[in-house]
Amino acid sequence: MKFSLKLIACLLFVMGANMTRADEGMWIPSLLKKYKIEDLKKAGFKLTAEDVYNVNQACLKDAVVGLGSESRPFRHFCTGEIVSGKGLLITNHHCGYRAIQSHSSIEHDYLKDGFWAMNQAEELPNEGITASFLIRIDDVTSEMMKGIVPDMDKKKISEILKKNKAEIIKKAQKGTHYKANVKAFFSGNQYFLSVYEIYKDVRLVGAPPSAIGKFGGDTDNWMWPRHTGDFSMFRIYADKNNMPASYSKDNVPLKPKRFFEISLDGVNENDFTMVFGYPGTTTEYLTSYAIEQKMNSNNPHKIKIRTKRLNIMGAGMDSSQKIRIQYSAKYAGVANAWKKWQGEIKGLKRIKALEKKEKLEQRFREWAKTRKEYDGILDELKGLYASNRDLSLAIDYIWEAGLRGCEILNFSKSFMVLAKAKEEEIPQIVKGLKAKTSKFFKDFDLEVDKNLFEATILMYSDNLEGKYQPQAILDLVSKNKNKFGKYTDKLYEKSIFTSEEKVNSFLNSYKKSSAKKVLNDPIYKIYDAFYKFYRKDLGLKSLQTEMRIDELQKKYMAGLMEMDSDKIFYPDANSTFRFHYGKVKGFKARNAVYYDYYTSLDGIIEKDNPEIFDYDVPQKLKELYASKDYGRYANEKGEMPVCFAATNHTTGGNSGSPILNAEGQLIGVNFDRAWEGVMSDLMYDPSICRNVCLDIRYVLFVVDKFAGAGYLLDEMKLVSKKK
Ligand code: ARG
Ligand code: GLU
């Protein structure tokens, strides 16, 4: 067959414009039918759009929950999936970590030994954790825009948006117990309403020991190949009418609308996979200027500060088992972003992200030349990033090294409420603060915190120009520079916030006139100096620029969508429900290194080393390995599969997300991404971006054979075409 050159060029153009790179994207479920179902079917999906998302009938989305907290129910920190008709849910071990830790002590160390409730009465309540089911998600852009006319001033627009939002939410909640929320999509070019049913009694059912649930620890975090059994189980409770209710011993297990069937058939390379969940934040449409600043300025500094903090916490943890328990969750939290940022910088360089962005920007500039509303926005953005560069770094420093470098500064802030309280409010506040105090000191070590304070304040002072530092800090450091350790000792000794006894004795004798004790406390004063400086001198100054950047980013986004109007864009993650699809796949990690798509128990045994905390394999697991007692959970080769890698475009918040096969059955639990591809938050590349999934068969194996909690499997529906 012969094609004319012109035709070929034309075909290529249409294909090129239409293509989002394979597997890239986090899609809105209510738009599945309109935009994506054909693509999904081509990729191997066997169900219909209505099977996934249907507001009139139970469907797959009804088996997914967003995990949040009572104070921030819409900010889902993780995802979970329902696997039984009695509200049993699976999420990650690291998602349940704080809950597991909070029930732990030296005597009952559930982090170390694992925990399994042997009946429902033994399940442990967790104050504050919420589980949200999505009822529906609707485009409300036109309702949000009602009353907004061209050239209206910004203040007026934001007032109208606020009013419209409140009305939309009120209407959505009316006559129901639902909670609704409206969020901006595509940098504010569109708005969607999410309506949720939020359950508030979520109990811990089980967790493997950390030697399984956190196997590989921070050494293997963000890495492939992986061998972490990163899961824990919870159960949602409801009142007698199956309605959301706060914890009560009279509550009963939830009867969910839908739960996932679990497939025992496992995965092969190139199998279709689908993920549901609550991805938190991505920024795929930023300009090269924004990315360059992150890569070369902000993130290298943030990494440096955290390296220091981690070394200090790590030394404490190595010195005592008590400190290890106290700081393990905090350490993991600080280490997580620290390691990701490093992979992100490498990944962006490797895929030549800046060049790619610049090319797109070049095309945009050309296109915008004849369009007045878009012409010049890239130049202005470039200028704004340049002028805000130092200020933006100073803000990062104040958070990473100042306000949050150690813990005691932030703790002292909690007592501010006392200073403002009316006489009659005091007893209630004192009660709350006492509870907070006991929680805080349970996981606090004075020496570790002093070391953190000393190191981070000095870093702060060394790395910023004087004009970006509060006077009080400049003075304090210059006065004490050569004896900072001594100064720190004295500071912690003088402050009323540095021991549980001191705080409690202060609270026990609190009178209205004691307020000045908070305000004059030397630690509170340091907090206050940082915070005021941040608000007045840094935050306010940069706010103007940031607002203008947001405005231009919104325009740029609209322009991109107009320029490539035949491409289907996906919105950045914003903690709303999304689906992702891709395939099971290995990848080439670096020169001459190709990674297989799955790992097995053999790999855990290979890593075994009792000398290394992260690789100390439990005896029982070794015995199961030796006897090959894998039951029906082994693969065809007789191995016990542990994890697999796939091309789904996920991010933080997708932890715990269900991984489904083409029939919508559960085959895995999402828990991470491979380090080489973590730049997918800024730019996805199908050749190297991988999400890391726990094979559901390993979950079942651990529950059944390792923990002896096989009774939990009786609630689940296990299916197989083979066995
Ligand atoms: N990287 C994963 C995520 O972002 C797991 C984090 C928890 N695990 C850890 N070793 N710190 O959530
Ligand atoms: N571990 C992450 C989480 O907590 C998921 C990994 C990612 O960022 O993709 O959500």
Give the DSSP per-residue string, 4-55: -HHHHHHHHHHHHHHPPPTT---B-GGGIIIIIHHHHHHHT--S-HHHH--S
Nearest CA to ligand 1 atom 7: 94
Buried b (16+ CB within 10 A) or exposed e, 532-548: ebbeebbeeebeebbee
CA of 62 to the centre of ligand 2 (A): 22
Q: What pLDDT does 588 receive?
A: 97
CA of 465 to the centre of ligand 1 (A): 34
Q: What pLDDT does 481 receive?
A: 87
Q: What pLDDT does 106 receive?
A: 81
Nearest atom in ligand 2 to 680's CA: 9
The token pair that represents 177 in the structure block: 């117990």
Q: What pLDDT does 420 receive?
A: 86
Angle at CA 466, nearest 5°, toward 460 and 469? 55
pTM: 0.91
Q: What pLDDT does 723 receive?
A: 58
Instruction: Determine whether the shortest distance from the Cβ of 673 to ligand 2 is under 6 A.
Output: yes
Instruction: Determine whether the shortest distance from the Cβ of 221 to ligand 2 is under 6 A.
Output: no
Nearest CA to ligand 2 atom 8: 652
Q: What pLDDT does 10 receive?
A: 44
Q: Please list, in sequence order, all residues whose beta carbon lies within 8 angstroms of the beta carbon of residue 597, skipping any fewer than 6 positions away.
A: 267, 269, 584, 585, 586, 644, 645, 646
CB 602 within 8 A of CB 609: no
Instruction: Determine whether the shortest distance from the Cβ of 672 to ligand 1 is under 6 A.
Output: yes
Q: Which of 76, 91, 111, 221 to mutate to test the pocket of ligand 1 (most atoms within 8 A of CB)?
A: 221
Dihedral over Cα of 114, 118, 122, 125: its sign: positive
Which stretches of the chain drop beneath a pLDDT of 50? Answer: 1-3, 5-19
CA of 38 to the centre of ligand 2 (A): 28
Nearest atom in ligand 1 to 214's CA: 10
Instruction: Determine whether the shortest distance from the Cβ of 288 to ligand 2 is under 6 A.
Output: no
Q: What pLDDT does 20 receive?
A: 52
Instruction: Determine whether the shortest distance from the Cβ of 316 to ligand 2 is under 6 A.
Output: no
CA of 335 to the centre of ligand 1 (A): 8
Nearest atom in ligand 2 to 655's CA: 10
Q: What pLDDT does 1 receive?
A: 42
CB 627 within 8 A of CB 638: no
Identity of residue 550: D
Q: Please list, in sequence order, all residues whose beta carbon lies within 8 angstroms of the beta carbon of residue 591, skipping any fewer than 6 positions away.
A: none
Q: Quick count: other Cβ atoms within 10 Å of Cβ 446?
A: 12
Instruction: Determine whether the shortest distance from the Cβ of 91 to ligand 2 is under 6 A.
Output: no
Query: What ranges make up the beta strands (E) of 654-690?
Result: 658-660, 666-673
CA of 485 to the centre of ligand 1 (A): 33
CB 328 within 8 A of CB 316: no
Q: What pLDDT does 16 receive?
A: 40
Task: Return the ligand number nearest the Cα of 657.
Answer: 2
CA of 671 to the centre of ligand 1 (A): 8
Instruction: Determine whether the shortest distance from the Cβ of 222 to ligand 1 is under 6 A.
Output: yes
Instruction: Determine whether the shortest distance from the Cβ of 228 to ligand 2 is under 6 A.
Output: no
Q: Which of 222, 673, 693 to mutate to test the pocket of ligand 2 (most atoms within 8 A of CB)?
A: 673
Query: Residue 66 pairs with which residues in a beta bridge?
Result: 79, 132
For residue 202, what are the CA distances in angstroms to 124, 125, 238, 378? 8, 6, 9, 48
Nearest atom in ligand 1 to 340's CA: 1
Q: How far apart are CA 400 and CA 502, in angstroms?
A: 27
Q: Which of 77, 94, 650 to mutate to test the pocket of ligand 1 (most atoms within 8 A of CB)?
A: 94
Q: For the chain, what is the radius of gyration of the CA atoms?
A: 27
Q: What pLDDT does 97 receive?
A: 92
The residues assigned a catalytic role are: 94, 230, 655
Nearest CA to ligand 2 atom 1: 672
Number of helices followed by number of strands (H, E) in the chain: 27, 22
